[in-house]
Amino acid sequence: MGHLRWISPDLYAQIVILARKAGKPSLVDSHGPGLEQAAKARPTILKMNREEMGDTFGVIDETLVQMAQAACTLQADLDLNHVVITCGRDGIVALNHEDAWHAVAPLQQAVNAAGAGDAVSAALVVRLSAGDSWENALRWAAATSAAVVLTPGTADCHMKDILRIFQETVVRRL
């Protein structure tokens, strides 16, 4: 939320704390000081893209394995439940205290990638709320993100594209 400078950097952290007090899960998808403050409040899911992880936490990655290792360190240092990192065409790296996954959809002819990362957050919230396993929720998230790049609108997609891509989306343990 860099363009909304009037928002306090600890706003997301305050929301995470309120959600926890109400017994509700939280997902924070942000960058910069807001992400850093939210991480310290320990949301249920901390989601960022590869660049945001580098800018916020100083993580410079070369490979997905290195990204997963850095995410594991971040998770342990901040005692986070789940860390999700979107890596563009390289897919999604996600981990919790027990497992680490890599979800990847087949490459699409991109029209507009705006909102693809937001689609990951939305799909995770919807599928996990519906009771899906993490692996299945990640598969939906990767397929939804890939479907978003097919449309000229921001974070716009069509269910027929998601369902088609879902069939070829792979989630594997790291």
The partner residues of 100 in beta bridges, in order of sequence, read 95
CB atoms within 10 A of CB 91: 25
DSSP string, 64-82: HHHHHHHHHHHHHHHT-SE
Give the β-pairing of 82-86 and 92-95: antiparallel
- For residue 161, give the amino acid letter: D
Instruction: Extract the runs of DSSP E, i.e. beta strands, from 21-88.
Output: 27-29, 45-49, 82-86
Give the β-pairing of 45-49 and 27-29: parallel
- For residue 12, give the amino acid letter: Y
Instruction: Answer yes or no: 118 catalytic.
Output: yes
Q: Per the residue annotation, which of 55, 90, 118, 132 is the catalytic one?
A: 118
With the C-alpha atoms ordered 42, 122, 161, 107, is the resulting torsion angle positive or negative?
negative
Which sequence positions are flagged as catalytic?
118
